[in-house]
Structures are given as C-alpha cells and as structure tokens.
Chain A
Amino acid sequence: MKKLLALLMLGLVLFIAACSSEGEASEDDSSAEANGSSEETSESSEADGEKQTVTFWHSMGGAGQEALEAIVDSYNQSQGAVQVNAEYQGTYDEALTKFNAVAGTDSAPTMIQTFEIGTMSMINSGNIVPIQEFVDADGYDMSGLEENIVSYYSLDDTFYSMPFNSSTPVMYYNKDAFEAAGLDPEAPPETFEEVEEASTKIVESNPDMKGFALQAYGWLYEQLLANQGALLLNNNNGRTDTSTEIGWTEEEGKSIFTWVENMVNDGTFANYGTNGDNMMAGFLAGDVSMFLQSSASSRDVIDNAPFEVGIGFLPHPEEKERAGVVIGGASLWMIDGKPEAEEQAAWDFMKYLQTPEVQAEWHVGTGYFAINPAAYEEQTVKDAYEEMPQLQVTVDQLQATKPSYATQGGLMDMIPEGRKIMETALETVYNGGDLDEAYNTAVDQFNGAIEQANAARGE
C-alpha cells in the first residue's frame, strides 16, 4: 500500500511538473513573440543596438568559400545594423533541394544563391520576391552592371535575382607544350578545325601528351551551341514563350559531335568522362595540352600549373561566326514571406556585394567576373592582371559576346536533365559509339524531357 502511494505521489509530481513546464513554454513563446515584435520595431528605427540577422545560403566550396566568407566578414564589420550568416549548403543541386523542402516555412533562409539553370524553377516556385521590387523602391541603378550578365537574369524586363558569381567557359592550354610542338603560344586555336590541327601537332611532338580534352558536361555542350549562335530551346530559348522542343538544328548540334569524333579517331583526344577534376589533374600533370572549363577555375589552374598556362576563347566551327558565350554561374534570390526589416537588410548586403571594391576582390580571388565593370579599374585588379594577364581573356570574351537570345541562354526547369542526356551522348562518341545513333537518341530524350516537364506543370 505504501509503495502504491509513493508511486502515486511520484506520478502526481511528474504530472504537475509537466503541466508547469508546458505553461512556462507557452509563456516563453509569447514573450519571445513580444520580444520579436519589439525587436522589429526597434530595428526599423535603428534605435536599439540589436543586429538584424540575415541568413544566406550559398554553394561555394573550396577557394570560392574562403573568398566569400572574407567578404561576408568584412561586411559584418563595416556596419553595425546587419549580421549576415553565410551557410554552406552543398552543391547548387543540394541547396535547391533543401530550399524546396523548407520554402514557405520559418526555416527558409533570407536569401539563397542558385545556379543559372535553376532560374526558371525559382520563378515557378512562387516563394521569391523579384529583385525588381527593391530596385524600383530604392531607385537603384542597374545600368552600372555588366550588360551581358544583366540580360541573362532579366525576363520580360523584370529583374528576378541579383547576379553574383558569373563565369563563362574558356579554353586553357599549355604554352610550354605549344612551343615544343612549334605552335605559337600566344595564338591559341580559335576554330574547331584549328584545334584538331594543333592537337595532331602536339601528339606528333610528344606521343605521351594528348591534344585536347572535352569533359562530358552538358553545360559545355550548351556553350558550344551558343557560340555558333544556336538556340538550346525553341521559342527563343524559352524566353518569349514556354519551350516545346529543342532549338538547335541538326547541323549545329552534330558539328560538336563530329568535331570530337574526328579527334577520337586521330587518337588526339583525351577522355576524362564526366569528371572535371580528373581532367584538370591530367592537364596539370602534362597529359593533355588543351581543355575547356569554366573561367572560375582560372586562378586555381594558373596557381597550380608547373608550366605557363594560356587562356583562349571558346572555339567555334570555321564556317560559323563566333556568337559568344552564355553566362554561367549563379545569382542571389530574395525569399518571400520574411519581415520587411530582414529583407531590407538582405538587400543592403546585395548592394554591398556589387560595389567595385568587393567585386575586384572577388574577381581576383576566384576568376569569376566582376558584375560591376567599374571593378576592373580598381588597383587590385590591375595588379593581378600585371601578374596574370590570362585573367583578362575571360573578361574580354564576355565583353565580345553579342547579346542575342542564343547567348542569353535557355530558360527551362528540365535543363539539368537535358544536360545529363547530352553527357551520355558525348560519352558514347568518346568511347567509339555510333555518332548518328547517339545524337538521335539524345535529341529524342531531350524532347521527351521537355514534354514531361510541361506536362508536370499541369498547364
């Protein structure tokens, strides 16, 4: 009996404790809410010393992350009102997946960095505020920014996101190997045909070195298309109306495959499959003399190569004029449903990122472009160009690009899938598969993916 009583007592005590803690918790909640609202008001008047926090999700790993964190730190120290917390969320794909999971809840970040091909899915998601609203309200002058970059991120004259890290593909080549093969190290090959000839000469002079490597990477295929003035998707790359099928002609699409096949047959092509890191390691080890890659890697390649590195423009077929390249990289999105003060703080941070000083540091530290061309006049950039004139080529290529639908790039939410399809087709050709079959299968699958994506939107 005594035992039972003791148990009863214990149970009662626990029950009371549970009740009271519950009560406390709800009280806490309400007081936190009260605090929150008072914080908001105090921050909008900036009377209190409390800082407004901005959560910033990004996908910059390695050297890019270091450079970005340095910039965020300097912003946090430059003023007292806003505290930006930069959080690395994995690759662009991973970050976008996480964002889709938390969008519309309190766990969503204030701003997120998303890659260029995520543009359409961000707009379709309905969880973002177009940057245009802030530009209009603030009277911010966008004309100071690089024209080609601005044209990629605006749709129907509305600016959806703030460009941040932009890059284009360039051709890296080994100047020492060019010299050894009797080629002019200051004049990199410009057309598909010239690349083939140069590759043959390289292999002739040094049988241990392959001439050219093209990573099976859908982005590079898109760029090689755009450089011929070809569209990726119909309806002007999906910019005038939703695309319903591919935009390139058979001649344009096949030219890239034929070019690669020729080099595979000549034995001058180095196959690194889909692995970009392996390709870069191979280049640095002197196993291949030329490769295409994003200009964002330029600082890395120049610093690590034991030989002179040259950077040239993206090659194009001889009979086509060079049209230029599409902006790659990522932009910053403002997330909907956040308190006004928080969004304003994030907007302030975005403006800070566009200042010439910050852009100069970013450009030199990574190889991404300066979004604000005034950065090229900064002393940091001038000093870096003195030391590494190759960095300038990447900028020249962008500025030589003619704005058109082709060089604005495709807009559609199925592009990641399309890339994988082209990668498989490229790999088939690398491994000696039938070109026509690989190409036709790829086109069929690409069209199928567009159809599926349109159906899934339920329109």
Chain B
Amino acid sequence: MSMSNAVVRTTELKQLDFEQIKKKQRTKSFLKGMMFLLPSIVLFSIFLFYPLLRTIYLSFFLTDAKGVTTVFVGFDNFINMFSSPIFIQSIQSTFLFVLYTVPVTIIISLFLAVIANEKLKGIGFFRTIYSSTMGISVAAASVFWLYLFHPTIGMLNVILGTLGFENIGWLTDPTWALIAVSVTTIWMNIGFTFLILLGGLQSIDTYLYESADIDGAGYFYKLRRITIPMLSPTLFFVVTVTIINAFQTFGQIDILTQGGPQNTTNLIVYSIYREAFVNYQFGSASAQAVVLFIIILLMTLLQFKFGERKVHYQ
C-alpha cells in the first residue's frame, strides 16, 4: 500500500516537474526567438507597418499641403476615386501595361536564356550582353529611349521615314504611348529576368538530359518535358516579381510621358505621385495607394493559388 502510494506520488511529481520544465523551456525559446526577430520586427514596424496604417488613416481625410489632416470625409475619397473617369482609366492603363510587358519580357528572356545556356565558345560574351540592361538605371534608359522616340529627329522615326512610312508620334499619340513605354520597360527588364532564368537553367541536373538522350528524346521534347518543368519554380518567382514591378512602374513614366497623352500612360503609381506631390491631396493619394495595395495583394494570392499548382519543386 505504502509502496504503491509512493510510486504514484513520484510519478505525479515527475509529471508536474516535467510540465513545469516544458513550460519554462517554451517561454525561454519564445523569448529567444523574439530576440532574433526583434531587429526585423522593429525595422518592419517603422518602415512598413506604421506607414501602411498611416496611409489607411490618411485615406479617410482631406489634408492641407503639409499633409496635416483637416476634414474627416469617411469613404468619400474612395467614392470620388471610383466615380472619376481619370482613375478608372488609370486602372485600365495599369492592367494593359502589365499585360503588354509581363508575358513579352518573360518569353524573350526565356528564349535568350535557353540559347545562352548552350555550351559554346565565347558564350560568356553573349551572356554579358543579354544581361547588360540590368546595369542601366531606369533614368538613363528612359532618357536614351526618349531620344529614340523623338518625333522628328528620333532614330525610330528616321528609320520609318526611310522605309517610306508615316512618322509615328510615339509618346504623343494616345494609341502608341503606352506601347512605347512598354517597349522601354521590356527592354529594361530583360537583363534581370534573363539572369535569373539562366541561373535556374544552370541548376538543372545534367543527368536528366543524359538519360533523355539515351532514350532518344529530341531537342524540343527535352525542352518541353525537362527544361520547363524543372525551371517552373524560377519562372514562378520571375512572373510574380515582374508583375509586382509592372504595377509599381514609375521612373520611365515620369521621364517619358508624365502620364500623358490624355492620361493614357497615367499608371497608378504615377497617379498617386501626382495626387500627393503636385496636387497636394494626400488623402485621395493615400486612398489610391490602398487600392493599389489591395490589387497587388489579390494578384499575388491568385497566383499562389492557381500558379503554384503547376510549379514542380524537386
């Protein structure tokens, strides 16, 4: 009796002890974890979370030129925005711009990456050339294209002229301006996407190709069945990043068109800039920023939901 009692007591004690130690350990590891996270939490709070909350707050107010809130207007900024044809057009232009730039950039870069992945003599030279636009700043590239697009002395119109075509007002004609800006953007983005895709290609194991060779697979069969599936994680990353970048385009717009002609290239980030720093309407600018945030968030979620299914991780 006393023996069994003692045994029960000790097990009880042990269990209690165990629970306590476990709890202690958990708090300890939690604190440790927090310590490691603290720098990033502090940085994120200061530079991301606070501005985000502040933007949402500002979007419910009208402000003076210094950004100090003056009148609370509730959802008026949002209502005005969605009833304004300028903002609707700005959204349309942004989606069109994404549609023009993202697929073309990726197809061209993928093509270049595949041909630059061949092991040939002097391939390093071509790889450098193909990725060289990465080293050119947005401003420099835009100024360079600005001269190419010049209506009368620009190279593009000079070429059209010698071929006997009418001159095109690349940056002044509403039907062409968005295309002109897209061409510039595609040219600028190729370097980065090319480099990432080439890196992805080079990390594919060669034994896959070797066994395919033994099975007698052709070049395009290998491309379709080995290269693309093995590259899919990289492609997924590139697509996501390019889409987000396209939504946030600013520099080339500011230099090439300033949102004109007739607001056809007034992409959403440029529209936010104008609203805040030219018109000094920080309230409605914040409202637009919130909408942009929601759009990008939705796009990224959709991509992860549908795009990721097709991604093959090794």
Contacts and interface: CB of A to CB of B under 8 A. Distances in A.
A357 interface: no
Interface string A271-289: 1111100100110010100
Interface string A188-210: 00000000000000000000000
Given A273-B172, A282-B152, A216 B260 contact: yes
Contacts of B172: 271-273, 275, 427, 430-431
A456 B260 contact: no
Interface residues of A, number: 41
Contacts of A94: 277
A192 to B, nearest CB: 22
A21 interface: no
Given A274-B260, A433-B262, A456 B277 contact: no
Contacts of A433: 262
B261 A273 contact: yes
Interface in B147-189: 150-153, 169, 171-174
B222 interface: no
Interface string B60-78: 0011111100110000000
B261 A458 contact: no
Contacts of A420: 259, 274, 278
Contact of B280 (A121, A270, A272, A428): A121
A416 B278 contact: yes
Given A275-B171, A424-B262, A100 B152 contact: no
A274 B261 contact: yes
Nearest to A428: B262
Contacts of A428: 262
A424 B280 contact: no
A103 B279 CA distance: 18
Contacts of A125: 65-66
B281 interface: yes
B227 interface: no
Interface residues of B, number: 33
A261 interface: no
Nearest to A208: B152
Contact of A423 (B153, B171, B260, B283): B260
A34 B14 CA distance: 69
B249 interface: no
A431 B152 contact: no
Contacts of A281: 150, 152-153
B258 interface: yes
Contact of B278 (A272, A417, A441, A458): A417
A441 B66 CA distance: 29
A97 B172 CA distance: 28
Given A431-B173, A456-B283, A274 B258 contact: yes
Interface string A292-330: 000000000000000000000000000000000000000
B93 interface: no
Contacts of B151: 270-272, 278, 282, 287
A449 B274 CA distance: 14
A457 interface: yes
A124 B260 contact: no
Contacts of B260: 216, 273-274, 423-424, 427
B248 interface: no
A433 to B, nearest CB: 7
A217 to B, nearest CB: 11
Contact of A93 (B86, B171, B261, B278): B278
Nearest to B261: A427
A174 to B, nearest CB: 14
A455 interface: yes
B278 A455 contact: no
Interface in A212-261: 216
Contacts of A456: 62-64, 70-71, 281, 283
Nearest to B264: A427
A452 interface: yes
A273 B64 contact: no
Nearest to B169: A271
A417 B279 contact: yes
A393 interface: no
A367 to B, nearest CB: 24
B263 interface: yes
Contacts of A273: 169, 171-172, 257, 260-261
Contacts of A449: 279
Contacts of B150: 278, 281
Interface in B252-268: 257-263
A328 B257 CA distance: 24
Contacts of B174: 427, 431
A285 B152 contact: yes
Nearest to A288: B152
A449 B281 CA distance: 10
Interface of A: 93-94, 97, 100-101, 103, 121, 124-125, 216, 270-275, 278, 281-282, 285, 287, 413-414, 416-417, 420, 423-424, 427-428, 430-431, 433, 441, 445, 449, 452, 455-458
17 contacts: A97-B277, A100-B66, A124-B64, A216-B260, A273-B260, A273-B261, A281-B150, A282-B153, A285-B153, A416-B279, A420-B259, A431-B261, A433-B262, A452-B62, A455-B62, A455-B71, A458-B64
Top-8 shortest CB links A-B: A273-B172, A458-B70, A456-B62, A417-B279, A287-B152, A427-B261, A274-B260, A121-B65
Given A125-B65, A413-B280, A430-B172, 15 more contacts: A93-B278, A100-B280, A103-B66, A272-B172, A274-B257, A275-B172, A287-B152, A414-B279, A424-B263, A427-B261, A445-B86, A456-B62, A456-B71, A456-B281, A458-B71
